[in-house]
Amino acid sequence: MTSKQSVFENLLSLDGKVAIITGAASGIGRATAKLLADVGAAVALIDIDESGGKETAANINDSGGKSQFFHCNVISDFDCRSVVEDIHTHFGRIDTLFNNAGLIHRKSVVELEEPEWDLELDVNLKAIFFLSRYVIPKMIRNGGGSIINCGSGWGLKGGPKAAAYCAAKGGVANLTRAMAIDHGRKGIRVNCVCPGDIDTPLLRGEAHQLGINEEDFMQEAADRPINRVGTPEDVAKAVLFLASDLSTWVTGTHIVVDGGRLA
């Protein structure tokens, strides 16, 4: 290994670090958990999907990584407080939190029911508040850390038939800025990744909600300067950048990962 390779790998390495990933049972969460484990992090996987979460953990551990699944309903303050304590007890520290859990109802405000509105804001936005409020004191004890919130291109502009989602993700964008201001002097960086259309079960489910043929929907989603739908791994690489020492002076900002759709 050359000295230049060594420097670069050290900047990317998360050896000795512990990362929490929510929504880790599939999609972006699963891909991010695998990538962070590949570069040395011990990963704590959070999801309500116990089967998928345990499968992710098994895949990581079978590949030589270190992971543990923790069942948690991220819209429960009690669950979030308990799981953060369990993770800290199990791993001894927390360095990175990727608030990734999310859902979408493809409806306008006229079509939405109040429980749908509430659930969408709870999962996409309130869960960030719950987990961060318990993780931040643990990070401060370590001398700092990195919180990465999963926003959306539709958190920076509007989108059709996604009123609650746009509201929640817009909140994520500004909550990210506020948290960066509040906690930066304690060594905690807070940033946001804003994916475009990513080939996940969530995206494909939108086609069925809208009553559109899935393949037609995915073909339309690929219409952007980089002419394809994104992959979970595309977003995972941006999360790695924000978790690593490559981004030590980056906070309060948003990285759009959308193949140029917002350009």
What's the CA gap between 107 and 72, in Å, rounded?
A: 27
DSSP state of 198: B
Confidence category of residue 239, pLDDT binned at 50, 70, 90: very high
- Pairing between β-strand 66-71 and β-strand 96-99 as defined by DSSP bridges: unpaired
What is the pLDDT confidence band of residue 1, given thresholds at 50, 70 and 90?
low
Nearest to 58 by CA among 92, 87, 81, 24: 24
Residue 260, CA distances (Å) to 132, 197, 199 in order: 30, 11, 16
- 165 given a catalytic annotation: yes
Amino acid at 54: K
Asked if 5 and 32 touch (Cβ cutoff 8 Å), the reply is no
* AA letter at 205: G
Burial 233-246 (b: 16+ CB within 10 A, else e): ebbbebbbbbbbee
CA distances from 161 to 109, 117, 206, 210 (A): 8, 13, 10, 9
Query: Averaged over 146-164, what is the pLDDT?
Result: 97
Q: What is the mean pLDDT of residues 207-234?
A: 97
Query: How many whole angstroms separate alpha carbon 148 and alpha carbon 196?
Result: 16
pLDDT band at residue 2 under the 50/70/90 scheme: low
Q: Which of 75, 115, 100 is nearest to 19 (CA)?
A: 100
Contacts of 67 (CB under 8 A, 6+ apart): 33, 37, 42, 43, 44, 45, 56, 57, 60, 61
**Of residues 91, 134, 165, 217, which has the active-site annotation?**
165
**Contact 180/189 with Cβ under 8 angstroms?**
yes
Q: Which positions ≥6 away from 169 have C-beta within 8 Å?
A: 124, 125, 151, 152, 154, 155, 194
Return the pLDDT at 261. Answer: 97
At residue 210, the pLDDT reads: 97
Round to whole Å and give the CA distance between 199 and 205: 10
Question: What SS3 class is residue 67?
Answer: strand
Domains defined along the chain, listed by start: 3-195+233-252 (3.40.50.720), 199-229 (no CATH)
pLDDT per residue as tens digits for the range 44-62: 999 999 999 999 999 999 9
Tokens of 144: 């700092």
Its pTM surpasses 0.85: yes
Average pLDDT rounded to a whole number, residues 197-214 = 96
Indicate the helix (H) or strand (E) that contains 89: helix 77-91
